[in-house]
Amino acid sequence: MPLQPTKNIWHNGNLIPWENATIHVMSHVVHYGSSIFEGIRCYAQPEGAAIFRLEEHMQRFIDSGVIYRMPLGLSLQQLNQAVIDLVDANGVAPCYIRPVAFRGYGEVGVNPINSPVEVYVINYPWGKYVPGNTGANVCISSWNRNAPNTMPAMAKAGGNYLNSQLIRMEAHINGYDEGIALDVNGTISEGSGENLFIVKGGILYTTPLTSSVLNGITRNSVLTLARDLGIPVVEQALPRELLYVCDEAFFTGTAVEVTHIHSVDRIVIGDGNAGPVTTALHDEFFGIVNGTRKDRYNWLTPVNVKVAEPVGV
């Protein structure tokens, strides 16, 4: 999807013009992948626009920095405010928000410690990732997720997405919408950029953090909604073949939101349509983010931007 530039980008405390947000080719990140980032949605609502789970995203951003010894030099409150200021200044909603921090231009060499940390926040208009309501046709990737204690899955680091790129390219080349990776043990991990849920016999299953998955904020939201709706939830290592015989399966993530899976390796799941558990969670999620159901968990941060129409369903 082509990027539609906005007017301003937030950089180390200031708003700068979009075209001035450039870096030197000798920046550490270009050579060694030393970046961390977030992806956040700002939704259109009947009363205006609102950012979904801003604080949780910025806390994960800080945590990714801790794991990579990359101090951001900004408090959670300052980071939240940076996002709000940028969205207000650019006046674009609904939009996608991309905070990113990386090791910049300083020393050459693998050790990043003496290369400066640069923090940027960018936002721009953005629509659906897996288009349509027909569900995703996915494959099991021939690529595994990173093994534990190699590239930490809990850090949302740029380098992790080299693995995601391999999974996604392979899926697309073979005619699928997305690939699901197994972990180093051969049990299910997650999609290239989304967490995975499976429904079998009325129980909602998802893989645990020990299965090399990102600690997804949409995953956490869906787990919260499921518990509230009285749906039994199990987090455990899951065998690949459960995907072929389950009643329902769906992805969660900031990009895909809640998207049902139509088929895995060309085996159609259930009758191919979104099943009752997926539908209940999907409707609850979109009801909250689109402002038609009460924000009973305080997940939304209002911003001062006028919007045309609600997004989603």
Kindly list the residues in this chain that would bind ligand PLP in the complex (CB under 6 A).
39, 164, 190, 193-195, 214, 216-219, 252-254
DSSP run (H or E) holding 299: none
Chain centroid, CA 280 distance in Å: 21
Alpha-carbon torsion (213, 262, 271, 223), positive or negative? positive
State the minimum distance, in angstroms, from the CB of residue 84 to ligand PLP: 19
Give yes or no: 7 in active site. Answer: no
Label residues 215-247 b or e (16+ Cβ within 10 Å = b): ebbbbebbbebbeeeebeeeeeebeeeebeebb
State the minimum distance, in angstroms, from the CB of residue 256 to ligand PLP: 8
Please identify which of the residues 156, 200, 294, 306 carries the catalytic annotation. 156
State the minimum distance, in angstroms, from the CB of residue 39 to ligand PLP: 5
Nearer to ligand PLP, 94 or 253 (CB): 253
Nearer to ligand PLP, 39 or 48 (CB): 39
Nearer to ligand PLP, 105 or 161 (CB): 161
Nearer to ligand PLP, 104 or 311 (CB): 311
Residue 312: other Cβ atoms inside 10 A: 18
State the minimum distance, in angstroms, from the CB of residue 42 to ligand PLP: 14
Q: How far apart are CA 278 and CA 261, in angstroms?
A: 10
CA distances to 126, 138, 202, 301 from 276, rounded to whole Å, are 28, 20, 9, 30
Known catalytic residues?
A: 156
